[in-house]
């Protein structure tokens, strides 16, 4: 028997197209953004479904509070990091996400950050705003002929490979699942991690955060890399050991780093703050999925899944 979703609580800012689509299908939508956990626990009792992005954490406590009423949690994004899936399963709560909707946006931000590490556009732009004209200070290096290592060859990693290859980079990559043929189709030479470390000029990570990928870039792995390697993380905070990168930036082992994601968001730790403020670091506040196109895509995808759970097919008005 299909689930009946009647009342949805939207906890994080999702595009209006999600709300419109749900309402067109007779589903009531209430927006209560960024509720403190005690208020969220009180609210979830009144809803049979909730929609989140990254900010709201659907913890075991929240799921226990919603037990008996909450049936579905949808994440307008890839992965389900901020939802306690084990607790959800024990309360028979269905967890949904939108794995593909953000891929192009996350890929494009990665490419932009790789570019920003090659050419210091961020500090140079700031210097102009401060009224300076320091051409000598802001010289960079070409990406052409350099080697980019893509760790994680899922949708986003492969799209990054395709784009950076057209810039004349040699693209090498690692993934335990993606086949050599799939990697090759994206112009990526699949290798082992041990083969990759000494070859890479740039390393970009595109894995989920799981025990096997936590601190994938560490003091140990950085020691196997070229002097002056540059690293990028638009995936999940924790895949790159921030303390290790900070030390490598100081020693010169790492010549630049770009971060869009952090172990804690917004960042509070001294290490993360030191990294963000480091002159060789470009930092952005988790913007991988923050484009108008991606937000419409994930909003529509999550709404469509809710509608399908109700046993109806989405209808569209133009």
Residues assigned a catalytic role: 236, 265, 286
Chain positions 287 to 316 lying near ligand MLT, rule: CB under 6 A, are 288-289
For Cα atoms 142, 143, 146, give the angle at the middle one, nearest 5 degrees: 115
Q: Does 78 bind ligand MLT (CB under 6 A)?
A: yes
Nearer to ligand MLT, 58 or 248 (CB): 58
Nearer to ligand MLT, 24 or 81 (CB): 81
Nearer to ligand MLT, 78 or 151 (CB): 78
Q: Which helix (H) or strand (E) holds 162?
A: helix 155-165
Q: Does 79 bind ligand MLT (CB under 6 A)?
A: yes
Nearer to ligand MLT, 201 or 304 (CB): 304
Phi, psi of 313 (to 5 degrees): -100, 145
How many Å apart are CA 55 and CA 45, to the nearest integer?
20
CB of 81 to ligand MLT, least distance (A): 7
Q: Please identify, among the stretches 144-152, 185-193, 220-228, 285-293, the one whose residues bind ligand MLT according to the rule CB under 6 A.
A: 285-293
How many Å apart are CA 186 and CA 99, to the nearest integer?
19
Nearer to ligand MLT, 79 or 140 (CB): 79
Q: Please identify, among the stretches 42-50, 86-94, 142-150, 283-291, the one whose residues bind ligand MLT according to the rule CB under 6 A.
A: 283-291
Nearer to ligand MLT, 197 or 259 (CB): 259
Selected from 53, 163, 190, 206, the binder of ligand MLT by CB under 6 A is 53
Selected from 7, 54, 127, 243, the binder of ligand MLT by CB under 6 A is 54
**How far from 3 is each of 6, 94, 168, 288, 308, CA to CA, in Å?**
10, 10, 51, 32, 9
How many Å apart are CA 35 and CA 157, to the nearest integer?
34
Q: Does 169 bind ligand MLT (CB under 6 A)?
A: no
CB of 75 to ligand MLT, least distance (A): 7
Mask: binding to ligand MLT, 240-279, rule CB under 6 A, as x and -? ----------------------------------------
Selected from 56, 102, 110, 213, the binder of ligand MLT by CB under 6 A is 102
Nearest to 287 by CA among 161, 110, 122: 110
To the nearest 10 degrees (0 to 180), the angle between helices 16-24 and 292-309 is 20
Buried b (16+ CB within 10 A) or exposed e, 269-302: eebbeebbebebbbbbebebbbbeebbbbbbbbb
CB of 98 to ligand MLT, least distance (A): 7
CB of 141 to ligand MLT, least distance (A): 30
Asked if 237 and 216 touch (Cβ cutoff 8 Å), the reply is no
Buried b (16+ CB within 10 A) or exposed e, 183-202: beebbbbbbeeeebbebbbb
Asked if 262 and 288 touch (Cβ cutoff 8 Å), the reply is no
Q: Which residues bind ligand MLT (CB under 6 A)?
A: 53-54, 77-79, 102, 286, 288-289
């Amino acid at each position: 028997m299909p689930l009946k979703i009647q009342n949805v609580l939207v906890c994080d800012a999702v595009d209006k197209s999600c709300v419109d689509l749900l309402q067109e299908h007779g589903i009531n939508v209430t927006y209560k953004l960024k509720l403190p956990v005690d208020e969220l626990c009180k609210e979830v009792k009144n809803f049979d479904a909730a929609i989140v992005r990254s900010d709201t954490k659907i913890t075991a406590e929240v799921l226990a509070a919603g037990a008996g009423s909450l049936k579905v949690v949808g994440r307008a994004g890839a992965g389900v990091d901020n939802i306690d899936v084990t607790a959800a399963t024990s309360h028979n709560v269905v967890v949904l996400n939108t794995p593909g909707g953000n891929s192009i946006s996350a890929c494009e931000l990665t490419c932009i950050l790789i570019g920003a590490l090659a050419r210091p556009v961020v500090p140079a732009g700031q210097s102009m705003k401060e009224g300076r004209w320091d051409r000598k200070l802001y010289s960079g290096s070409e990406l052409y002929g350099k080697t980019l290592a893509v760790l994680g060859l899922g949708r986003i990693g492969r799209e990054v490979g395709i784009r950076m290859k057209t810039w004349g980079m040699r693209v090498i990559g690692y993934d335990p699942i993606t086949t050599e043929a799939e990697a090759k189709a994206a112009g990526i030479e699949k290798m082992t991690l041990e083969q990759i470390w000494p070859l890479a000029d740039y390393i970009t990570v595109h894995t989920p955060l799981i025990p096997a990928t936590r601190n994938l870039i560490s003091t140990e792995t950085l020691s196997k890399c070229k002097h002056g390697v540059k690293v990028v993380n638009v995936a999940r905070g924790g895949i790159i050991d921030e303390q290790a990168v900070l030390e490598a930036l100081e020693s010169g082992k790492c010549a630049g780093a770009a971060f869009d994601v952090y172990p804690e968001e917004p960042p509070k730790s001294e290490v993360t703050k030191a990294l963000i403020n480091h002159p060789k670091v470009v930092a952005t506040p988790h913007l991988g999925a923050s484009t108008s196109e991606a937000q419409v895509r994930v909003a529509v995808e999550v709404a469509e899944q809710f509608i399908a759970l109700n046993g109806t097919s989405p209808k569209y008005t133009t």
